[in-house]
Each structure stands twice: as structure tokens, then as C-alpha cells.
Structure 1
């Protein structure tokens, strides 16, 4: 998957339409990772935008 930075080092800008913005930390779980949300979000669709370009220590 390509990085969201261009050759000039600027980040891409996205327009997302939805009902709520929730910010959280991506945490490891097994061989994967997840973002924890409140129970009221169960069964709903979500989109995740990575805003930190660090590699998470990997």
C-alpha cells in the first residue's frame, strides 16, 4: 500500500462524510492492531485515517 506522503513531503487531504469523529490510539492485539470504540458503534461502518507516520516500533 503506498504511503500517503508525496515526494514533496506533504500529506494527502481526505474529505470524509459521517456522523462523528473519534480519535484513538491504535493498539496491538495478537498479530494485528485495533482501535477501541464505544459499544454504541458496534455494527457500524468506519474509516480509519492514519495521522502519525511513525512505524510503531516495527
Structure 2
């Protein structure tokens, strides 16, 4: 096995993966997600715990 010298370089034309740079969700996205989850979740109280935990992080 031959060892390479140097780091792997990104070629100038290579596309980055869409999830490589993460943007924080906007409040509008969070509100739509909340409505969707509450409409489809068996126990809404448990679902709201997720959003309460998320608000502490932001």
C-alpha cells in the first residue's frame, strides 16, 4: 500500500453536499412542523416536550 502525501483536496468543480452547511430553522418552519406533529402524534403532550426542549436550545 502506498501512502499519499498531503490532504485530500476538494476539486474546484466539486459540489458540496446539501447538508454540509446547516442553517437554523426559521420560526415559520418550526410552527409548521409543530402543527404537523401535533396533528399526527398519538399523545400531544409528549410531542410538546420535544418543542419545549428545542426552545431551551435556541
More helix by proportion, 1 or 2? 2
Q: Report which of the two structures shows the higher radius of gyration computed on alpha carbons.
A: 2
TM-score (norm 1): 0.20
Q: Compare relative contact order (CA 8 Å, sep 6+) and give the higher one, 1 or 2.
A: 2
TM-score (norm 2): 0.20
More strand by proportion, 1 or 2? 1
